[in-house]
Structure 1
Amino acid sequence: MKSEELTGNLHYQIFGLRSLYNLPDSVVKKFELHYASLPDSTIAKDTLLSVIINRKLKNSPYIFLRKKDGEVVTIYMENSQYQQFTKFKYKELIDNKQEVCIKLKAEKLMGRYYKCISVTSVKIKKGQTLGKQGKFLLYEYE
Protein backbone atom coordinates (compact mmCIF):
# COMPACT_ATOMS: atom_id res chain seq x y z
CA MET A 1 0.00 0.00 0.00
CA LYS A 2 1.64 3.21 -1.19
CA SER A 3 0.59 6.40 0.54
CA GLU A 4 0.59 9.95 -0.76
CA GLU A 5 0.61 13.17 1.21
CA LEU A 6 -2.28 15.39 0.18
CA THR A 7 -2.76 19.02 1.20
CA GLY A 8 -5.59 21.37 0.45
CA ASN A 9 -8.76 22.92 1.78
CA LEU A 10 -12.04 21.43 2.91
CA HIS A 11 -14.41 21.76 -0.03
CA TYR A 12 -18.19 21.76 -0.12
CA GLN A 13 -20.19 20.23 -2.98
CA ILE A 14 -23.83 20.83 -3.84
CA PHE A 15 -24.56 17.13 -3.57
CA GLY A 16 -22.19 14.35 -2.70
CA LEU A 17 -23.36 10.76 -2.74
CA ARG A 18 -20.17 8.73 -2.78
CA SER A 19 -21.17 6.12 -0.20
CA LEU A 20 -24.17 5.01 1.84
CA TYR A 21 -22.92 6.85 4.93
CA ASN A 22 -25.67 8.56 6.94
CA LEU A 23 -28.48 7.27 4.69
CA PRO A 24 -31.63 5.74 6.18
CA ASP A 25 -31.47 1.99 6.84
CA SER A 26 -34.30 1.41 4.37
CA VAL A 27 -32.26 2.94 1.52
CA VAL A 28 -29.16 0.95 2.47
CA LYS A 29 -31.19 -2.28 2.59
CA LYS A 30 -32.71 -1.64 -0.87
CA PHE A 31 -29.28 -0.91 -2.31
CA GLU A 32 -27.77 -4.06 -0.81
CA LEU A 33 -30.62 -6.24 -2.10
CA HIS A 34 -30.38 -4.71 -5.57
CA TYR A 35 -26.59 -5.00 -5.69
CA ALA A 36 -26.68 -8.63 -4.52
CA SER A 37 -29.13 -9.49 -7.32
CA LEU A 38 -26.85 -8.19 -10.10
CA PRO A 39 -24.80 -10.70 -12.07
CA ASP A 40 -21.04 -10.34 -11.60
CA SER A 41 -20.63 -9.36 -15.24
CA THR A 42 -22.90 -6.31 -14.78
CA ILE A 43 -20.48 -4.32 -12.65
CA ALA A 44 -17.07 -3.60 -14.09
CA LYS A 45 -14.22 -4.28 -11.70
CA ASP A 46 -12.77 -0.80 -12.20
CA THR A 47 -15.83 1.27 -11.31
CA LEU A 48 -16.07 3.36 -8.16
CA LEU A 49 -19.00 1.25 -6.97
CA SER A 50 -16.94 -1.92 -7.27
CA VAL A 51 -13.95 -0.34 -5.52
CA ILE A 52 -15.91 1.01 -2.54
CA ILE A 53 -17.71 -2.28 -2.05
CA ASN A 54 -14.57 -4.43 -2.37
CA ARG A 55 -12.62 -2.13 -0.05
CA LYS A 56 -15.54 -2.10 2.45
CA LEU A 57 -16.04 1.66 2.11
CA LYS A 58 -19.73 1.71 1.17
CA ASN A 59 -20.72 2.93 4.64
CA SER A 60 -17.70 5.18 5.11
CA PRO A 61 -17.92 8.93 5.56
CA TYR A 62 -15.91 11.12 3.21
CA ILE A 63 -14.82 14.68 2.64
CA PHE A 64 -14.00 16.70 -0.44
CA LEU A 65 -10.51 18.19 -0.57
CA ARG A 66 -9.57 20.99 -2.97
CA LYS A 67 -5.89 20.54 -3.69
CA LYS A 68 -3.52 23.44 -4.40
CA ASP A 69 -3.88 22.86 -8.17
CA GLY A 70 -7.68 23.26 -7.90
CA GLU A 71 -8.52 19.57 -8.36
CA VAL A 72 -11.24 18.36 -5.99
CA VAL A 73 -10.75 14.82 -4.67
CA THR A 74 -12.90 12.59 -2.47
CA ILE A 75 -11.29 11.20 0.68
CA TYR A 76 -12.94 8.21 2.39
CA MET A 77 -12.31 8.03 6.14
CA GLU A 78 -12.87 6.03 9.27
CA ASN A 79 -15.57 7.50 11.53
CA SER A 80 -12.94 8.49 14.09
CA GLN A 81 -10.98 10.46 11.46
CA TYR A 82 -14.13 12.06 10.07
CA GLN A 83 -15.56 13.40 13.34
CA GLN A 84 -13.18 16.36 13.46
CA PHE A 85 -14.72 17.71 10.23
CA THR A 86 -18.32 17.69 11.49
CA LYS A 87 -17.78 20.90 13.48
CA PHE A 88 -17.16 22.98 10.34
CA LYS A 89 -20.21 24.61 8.77
CA TYR A 90 -20.04 26.19 5.36
CA LYS A 91 -22.03 29.33 6.25
CA GLU A 92 -19.94 30.02 9.36
CA LEU A 93 -16.69 29.63 7.41
CA ILE A 94 -17.97 32.04 4.73
CA ASP A 95 -19.27 34.57 7.29
CA ASN A 96 -15.98 34.51 9.20
CA LYS A 97 -13.83 34.56 6.02
CA GLN A 98 -12.10 31.34 7.01
CA GLU A 99 -10.94 28.18 5.32
CA VAL A 100 -10.00 24.76 6.69
CA CYS A 101 -6.51 23.66 5.65
CA ILE A 102 -5.90 19.92 5.72
CA LYS A 103 -2.83 17.74 5.42
CA LEU A 104 -3.25 13.98 5.34
CA LYS A 105 -1.78 10.72 4.14
CA ALA A 106 -3.95 8.68 1.81
CA GLU A 107 -3.93 5.69 -0.48
CA LYS A 108 -5.18 6.29 -4.02
CA LEU A 109 -8.13 4.07 -4.89
CA MET A 110 -8.73 5.28 -8.45
CA GLY A 111 -8.97 8.58 -10.29
CA ARG A 112 -9.83 11.32 -7.78
CA TYR A 113 -10.77 8.90 -4.97
CA TYR A 114 -8.58 8.17 -1.94
CA LYS A 115 -8.73 6.29 1.37
CA CYS A 116 -7.35 8.25 4.31
CA ILE A 117 -4.56 6.58 6.25
CA SER A 118 -4.00 9.41 8.73
CA VAL A 119 -4.88 13.06 9.19
CA THR A 120 -1.68 15.01 9.85
CA SER A 121 -3.17 18.45 10.49
CA VAL A 122 -6.41 20.41 10.34
CA LYS A 123 -6.13 24.17 10.77
CA ILE A 124 -8.47 27.10 10.32
CA LYS A 125 -6.97 30.19 8.72
CA LYS A 126 -8.15 33.41 7.16
CA GLY A 127 -9.26 32.87 3.60
CA GLN A 128 -12.17 31.97 1.43
CA THR A 129 -13.90 28.63 1.64
CA LEU A 130 -14.78 27.62 -1.87
CA GLY A 131 -17.74 25.55 -2.82
CA LYS A 132 -20.03 25.15 -5.74
CA GLN A 133 -22.75 27.75 -5.64
CA GLY A 134 -26.31 26.99 -6.56
CA LYS A 135 -29.89 26.88 -5.41
CA PHE A 136 -29.44 23.53 -3.69
CA LEU A 137 -28.16 22.87 -0.20
CA LEU A 138 -24.48 22.18 0.05
CA TYR A 139 -23.33 18.85 1.38
CA GLU A 140 -22.52 19.46 5.06
CA TYR A 141 -20.24 17.13 6.99
CA GLU A 142 -22.40 15.58 9.70
Structure 2
Amino acid sequence: MLRALIYLLPLALTIYAFIDCLNTPEDEAKHLPKVAWVFIILLFWIVGPIVWLAAGKLRQVPEGGRTPSEWHRGSRRQWVAPDDNPDFLKSLKDENEKDETVLKDWEADLRRREDELKRREGGPESTPPAS
Protein backbone atom coordinates (compact mmCIF):
# COMPACT_ATOMS: atom_id res chain seq x y z
CA MET A 1 0.00 0.00 0.00
CA LEU A 2 2.82 2.40 0.85
CA ARG A 3 4.45 1.69 -2.54
CA ALA A 4 1.28 2.75 -4.32
CA LEU A 5 1.11 5.94 -2.27
CA ILE A 6 4.65 6.82 -3.35
CA TYR A 7 3.43 6.91 -6.96
CA LEU A 8 -0.10 8.18 -6.48
CA LEU A 9 0.73 11.24 -4.38
CA PRO A 10 3.14 12.79 -6.95
CA LEU A 11 0.74 11.85 -9.75
CA ALA A 12 -2.16 13.60 -7.99
CA LEU A 13 0.06 16.63 -7.31
CA THR A 14 1.11 16.74 -10.98
CA ILE A 15 -2.49 16.49 -12.21
CA TYR A 16 -3.61 19.23 -9.82
CA ALA A 17 -0.75 21.57 -10.82
CA PHE A 18 -1.31 20.86 -14.52
CA ILE A 19 -5.02 21.71 -14.34
CA ASP A 20 -4.29 24.76 -12.18
CA CYS A 21 -1.74 25.97 -14.72
CA LEU A 22 -4.13 25.48 -17.63
CA ASN A 23 -6.91 27.40 -15.84
CA THR A 24 -4.63 30.30 -14.92
CA PRO A 25 -4.80 33.34 -17.24
CA GLU A 26 -1.57 34.07 -19.10
CA ASP A 27 -0.99 37.40 -17.34
CA GLU A 28 -1.08 35.73 -13.90
CA ALA A 29 1.75 33.28 -14.66
CA LYS A 30 4.93 34.59 -13.03
CA HIS A 31 8.53 34.41 -14.28
CA LEU A 32 7.84 32.27 -17.40
CA PRO A 33 5.17 31.96 -20.09
CA LYS A 34 2.35 29.57 -19.30
CA VAL A 35 3.46 27.10 -21.99
CA ALA A 36 6.87 26.83 -20.32
CA TRP A 37 5.19 26.14 -16.99
CA VAL A 38 3.15 23.33 -18.57
CA PHE A 39 6.33 21.68 -19.87
CA ILE A 40 8.08 22.09 -16.50
CA ILE A 41 5.13 20.53 -14.67
CA LEU A 42 4.94 17.58 -17.04
CA LEU A 43 8.69 16.94 -17.49
CA PHE A 44 9.86 17.35 -13.89
CA TRP A 45 7.33 15.08 -12.26
CA ILE A 46 7.73 15.99 -8.57
CA VAL A 47 9.73 19.22 -8.62
CA GLY A 48 7.74 20.91 -11.43
CA PRO A 49 4.36 20.91 -9.67
CA ILE A 50 5.89 22.07 -6.39
CA VAL A 51 7.71 24.95 -8.11
CA TRP A 52 4.49 25.92 -9.95
CA LEU A 53 2.47 25.97 -6.74
CA ALA A 54 5.18 27.89 -4.87
CA ALA A 55 6.32 30.47 -7.42
CA GLY A 56 4.54 30.10 -10.75
CA LYS A 57 1.32 31.96 -10.18
CA LEU A 58 0.03 35.16 -8.61
CA ARG A 59 -1.85 34.05 -5.51
CA GLN A 60 -3.79 37.25 -4.88
CA VAL A 61 -7.28 37.57 -6.29
CA PRO A 62 -7.35 40.09 -9.16
CA GLU A 63 -10.12 42.67 -9.32
CA GLY A 64 -13.02 42.02 -11.62
CA GLY A 65 -13.09 38.26 -11.10
CA ARG A 66 -10.89 36.16 -13.35
CA THR A 67 -12.11 32.67 -12.45
CA PRO A 68 -15.49 31.12 -13.31
CA SER A 69 -16.50 30.90 -9.66
CA GLU A 70 -15.86 34.64 -9.27
CA TRP A 71 -17.93 35.43 -12.38
CA HIS A 72 -21.00 33.86 -10.82
CA ARG A 73 -20.63 35.35 -7.36
CA GLY A 74 -21.72 38.82 -8.46
CA SER A 75 -24.74 37.68 -10.44
CA ARG A 76 -26.20 35.20 -7.99
CA ARG A 77 -29.97 35.45 -7.88
CA GLN A 78 -32.59 33.44 -6.12
CA TRP A 79 -33.81 30.61 -8.33
CA VAL A 80 -37.52 30.65 -9.08
CA ALA A 81 -39.48 27.67 -10.38
CA PRO A 82 -40.95 28.21 -13.87
CA ASP A 83 -44.50 28.02 -12.51
CA ASP A 84 -43.78 30.93 -10.16
CA ASN A 85 -41.64 33.00 -12.51
CA PRO A 86 -43.73 35.89 -13.91
CA ASP A 87 -41.32 36.50 -16.80
CA PHE A 88 -41.55 32.88 -17.91
CA LEU A 89 -45.34 32.86 -17.62
CA LYS A 90 -45.55 36.10 -19.63
CA SER A 91 -43.33 34.61 -22.33
CA LEU A 92 -45.64 31.58 -22.52
CA LYS A 93 -48.68 33.84 -22.84
CA ASP A 94 -47.01 35.91 -25.57
CA GLU A 95 -45.98 32.75 -27.41
CA ASN A 96 -49.55 31.37 -27.20
CA GLU A 97 -51.00 34.61 -28.55
CA LYS A 98 -48.53 34.59 -31.41
CA ASP A 99 -49.36 30.95 -32.21
CA GLU A 100 -53.09 31.72 -32.15
CA THR A 101 -52.70 34.60 -34.60
CA VAL A 102 -50.67 32.38 -36.94
CA LEU A 103 -53.33 29.66 -36.66
CA LYS A 104 -56.12 32.16 -37.44
CA ASP A 105 -54.18 33.39 -40.46
CA TRP A 106 -53.74 29.82 -41.70
CA GLU A 107 -57.43 29.07 -41.21
CA ALA A 108 -58.42 32.23 -43.10
CA ASP A 109 -56.03 31.33 -45.91
CA LEU A 110 -57.45 27.79 -46.03
CA ARG A 111 -61.04 29.11 -46.21
CA ARG A 112 -60.04 31.54 -48.97
CA ARG A 113 -58.40 28.74 -50.99
CA GLU A 114 -61.41 26.44 -50.50
CA ASP A 115 -63.77 29.20 -51.70
CA GLU A 116 -61.52 29.82 -54.68
CA LEU A 117 -61.56 26.13 -55.60
CA LYS A 118 -65.36 26.00 -55.30
CA ARG A 119 -65.67 29.03 -57.58
CA ARG A 120 -63.40 27.41 -60.18
CA GLU A 121 -65.44 24.22 -60.16
CA GLY A 122 -68.62 26.24 -60.57
CA GLY A 123 -70.56 24.30 -57.99
CA PRO A 124 -73.89 25.51 -56.58
CA GLU A 125 -72.36 26.54 -53.29
CA SER A 126 -69.93 28.76 -55.18
CA THR A 127 -72.06 31.85 -54.70
CA PRO A 128 -70.86 33.85 -51.75
CA PRO A 129 -73.48 34.64 -49.12
CA ALA A 130 -75.11 38.05 -49.44
CA SER A 131 -74.26 40.49 -46.72
Q: Same fold (TM over 0.5)?
A: no
Q: Which has the higher contact order (CA 8 A, sep 6+)?
A: 1
Q: TM-score, normalised by structure 1?
A: 0.20
More strand by share: 1
Q: TM-score, normalised by structure 2?
A: 0.21
